[in-house]
Amino acid sequence: MATPSKDERANLESNASLKENHQLSSKPSVYGRTISGMTCLVHHSIVAIHGLDGDRELSWTAENKKMWLKDPDMLPAQAKNARILTYGYNAATWGEQQQLAEEKMHSLAENFVSRVVQYRTRTSTPEDRPMIFIAHSMGGIILKFALLYANGHHDGHVAENKLFSEATKGILFIGTPHQGTSGITAAESFVKIYTMNGEVDQTLRQHLVANSETLHDQLADYCSISDKYITKFFYELYKSKLPKDRLEVLVPKFSAVVPGAVNAEPLGLHKDHLHLVKFTSPDDDDYETVVTAIVLMIHEILKKNRGQSIC
């Protein structure tokens, strides 16, 4: 992972605040399309959540400034009736804005559920409108905790938040280290990923290692609800450059897949960890793999919801 420039750090840190208008964003141009003079209503939502040291826009933006979640020639063109949202949270592991080590992953997940539910309520979203989540790296761990929380697996469950789980129909986990590999735990895998900058905050390291057992237990808990969702597990096929010129596949297939998950499929991408969710054009073969998975997922969801009006 390249070390962010001064301007990029300023952008990331300003984006890390928990302002309501920062957490979820959508572009009106992707709300619907006109067919024979009639505007079709949105019939599903796609929500993207980034990982550590991420940003709700920069994490999904390639070197040529293409942001595939909102570029009119990319995902909005293939998911024409989708409301595409990005979720941002304070994921900084360095600098004054670093708070991840002090905020438990459970708290991040609960806040994620609350923000999504509030957004759907505020925008008068029908309760049965399906959601598809795209989760990169650590974002996938937060999403799993969020779904477990919404299903009532943890204390403090709010009944209305169950709608978060019930509306969730599909998930794309991209480069999420669900379990450890090569003799290390999932928590230690996260530490390896975020040493690509050459350093990692020691408080964060201690926090992740301390929660290693929690991450392990999450696997079994998640499997018990995995049959509710259509799931795609994406893993990297290329090695990432680490300090001291070491090269390593950080999240191989074994780590990127939840063992025992129901209705799931693993898919490889010809990228390193940093570039898993960055696509320069619609001609990118890996973009085609990801967007095809999304489109097929949408079709399958619509088949199951045939009784629901979509226009």
| CB-based contact 247:269 (threshold 8 Å) | no
Q: Dig out the tokens for 226 from the structure.
A: 């995995």
Percent of the chain exceeding pLDDT 90 equals 37
Reported as a single tens digit per residue, the pLDDT across 261-311 is 889 999 999 999 889 999 999 999 999 999 999 999 999 998 887 645 343
pLDDT of the residue at 135: 96
Q: Looking at the predicted structure, is the pLDDT value of residue 37 above 60?
A: no
Helix ranges, the chain (H) = 6-15, 20-23, 75-78, 105-122, 138-150, 162-167, 186-193, 202-210, 212-223, 253-256, 285-304
- As a whole number of Å, the end-to-end CA separation of the chain is 43
pTM: 0.79
* Encoded tokens for 303: 């088949």
Classify 236 as helix, strand or coil.
strand
Task: Kindly report the number of other CB atoms within 10 A of residue 157's CB atom.
Answer: 16
Q: At what angle do helices 212-223 and 186-193 cross, to 10 degrees?
A: 110
pLDDT bucket at 12, cuts 50 / 70 / 90 = very low
More confident residue, 37 or 175: 175
Residue type, 168: T
Query: d(Cα 213, Cα 296) in Å, to the nearest integer?
Result: 35
Per-residue DSSP letter, 275 = G
pLDDT higher than threshold 80 for residue 83: yes
Residues 6+ apart with CB under 8 A from 136: 48, 49, 50, 51, 54, 59, 174, 175, 176, 276, 277
Rounded CA separation 178/91 (Å): 18
Residue 48 near residue 60, CB atoms below 8 Å = yes
Q: In this predicted structure, which of 88-97, 211-220, 229-238, 292-301 has the lowest mean pLDDT?
A: 88-97
Distance in angstroms (rounded) separating the CA atoms of residues 202 and 23: 27
